[in-house]
A and B are shown apart, each in its own frame.
Chain A
């Protein structure tokens, strides 16, 4: 069963705009990770946020985590056409410590 669920399923914006994607999950987690997947390629790790962290930054990426709401958001600022990709959240939980569970992803299209 899917642990994380991304929202929206698809997002289309113009270059320079900000893109926000959300992830909700069902059970308590150890950490939450975000990945990017370009068409026809494997997933690339973007950022990991631990359950005791609330916000994390990496370049143009900002991730927040609200464990009380069991949700996370990924913000990409000043988007570029090269940011066009699918974005996935993934969680590891204490009950299944050796398994990483992915959501279904958000397809982001950045129009030049």
Chain B
């Protein structure tokens, strides 16, 4: 099993550009989530999904969209990148929800110029 795979590992964007961060898991997990990690701020929840076709907002959803068309994939879209979105983004998954151990990807390091 590959676990949780995030692509790309690094990305530099210009302000106003859009892009999609990819997250895929091969563990048949229903629950998937996206976090951003900023220095001194810990991890903050952006969006989460409890199954295919179901998504909801987390703590800091503005500027981000998600969709969940399959169990395996949970892409995160930046609609119009802003310097404030410079961060490290982590995707995580578990079988049914946050009351279980989460499996994390290795992150995408994103810089917005």
**Measuring CB to CB, which residues of chain A are less than 8 angstroms from any residue of chain B?**
1-2, 30-31, 33, 35, 40-45, 48, 88, 90, 92, 97-105
Cβ-neighbour of B40 out of A35, A41, A43, A104 (below 8 A)? A104
Count the A-B residue pairs with Cβ separation under 8 angstroms: how many?
Answer: 65
The stretch of B65-73, B75-83, B99-107 that contacts the partner chain = B99-107
CA of A92 to CA of B48, assembled, Å = 14
Q: Which chain B residue has the least Cβ–Cβ distance from A42?
A: B104
**Measuring CB to CB, which residues of chain B are less than 8 angstroms from any residue of chain A?**
4, 31, 33, 35, 40-45, 48, 50, 56, 58-59, 90, 92, 97-107
In terms of DSSP, what is the predominant structure of the interface of chain A? Answer: strand
A100 with B45, Cβ < 8 A, contacts A42-B106, A45-B101, A48-B101 known: yes
Cβ-neighbour of A98 out of B4, B50, B106 (below 8 A)? B50
CA of A102 to CA of B35, assembled, Å = 10
